[in-house]
Amino acid sequence: MDLNPSSQFLILAPLIAVFGLPHGALDLPIAERLWPLEGVSGKLKFIASYVGLILLVIAVWLVAPGVALSAFLAYSALHFSGDWAGTAAPLRWAGGVAAIGAPALLHPTEVTALFGHLAPLPAAAIAADAAALAGALAIIPLALTLAIRRRLSQPVIELMILWIAAWLLPPLLFFGIYFCSLHSIRHYRSSIRRMPSARRALFTAIGLSSIVALAGVSFVLVRSVADPAVPFELGLQAVFIGLAALTVPHMILVERFDRRLFVTRVGQKNTGDGIEPLPPVSA
């Protein structure tokens, strides 16, 4: 598919805003299942802590963008491995790494150029090379599974589709389709059914994701007034630095939620709010 990065971004940004952000916006309802966030003050304390972590990540990115980019890729791979929760560890690892490393391996020049908008070029090149190497290593568990097993399981089929999509699609489109389909929808469906009021959780997710999307658009518009020559770079930074910042508190929260569910499932004493022991969140 022959689309320049700006055209890809015009497709990516609405996909992230409409289909990607709502799954993370379920974090407040999830937090209400974990802790007694009583009244407005309880919710405000949680939101203040959540926003504080977001601002900390953004500050780190502004001070050390190369380090922040590499860290973002690493913890994103860990985060995306949750999409194959319950699968054998090698395949789960291979899935998370492939979501990041497959485009870098198959489209190295384009990925390096994209990373160059997020960090200085030397650091961007190192991050792209490391992602490509990780992608190459992630092929090994999938190849061994295909060689050993005669019957294809759902995770193996998904990983095969992931690699084919990474080969056929430009990197930004690949990420947008993966993030907004398999990752977001799987997490959203897994989380929403645990909410005591699915409708309330849905409206909360829509409201919070709309606020975040508007903040990103406002950032691009304000910066574009000061320097109208770089709207694509500003948009790319708003999306990916924003995702990097949102992912940190989101990962911490989902990990805590999964641990609580695990304690419930194995029959240990649960002193919380009686969360229903459903399968783990695909974060």
Query: Which residues line the annotated binding site for Fe cation?
Result: 23, 79, 183, 187
Gap between the Cα atoms of 7 and 169, Å rounded: 13
CA 32 to CA 46: how far, in whole Å? 9
Residue whose C-alpha is closest to residue 66's, from 133, 129, 125, 131: 125
Please say whether the beta carbons of 65 and 118 come within 8 A. yes
CA–CA gap between residue 10 and residue 181 (Å, rounded): 17
Half-sphere exposure of 142 (CA within 13 A, CB side): 24
Q: What is the distance of C-alpha 149 from the center of its chain?
A: 30
Half-sphere exposure of 263 (CA within 13 A, CB side): 15
DSSP state, residue 151:
S
Helix (H, G, I), strand (E, B) or coil at 263: helix
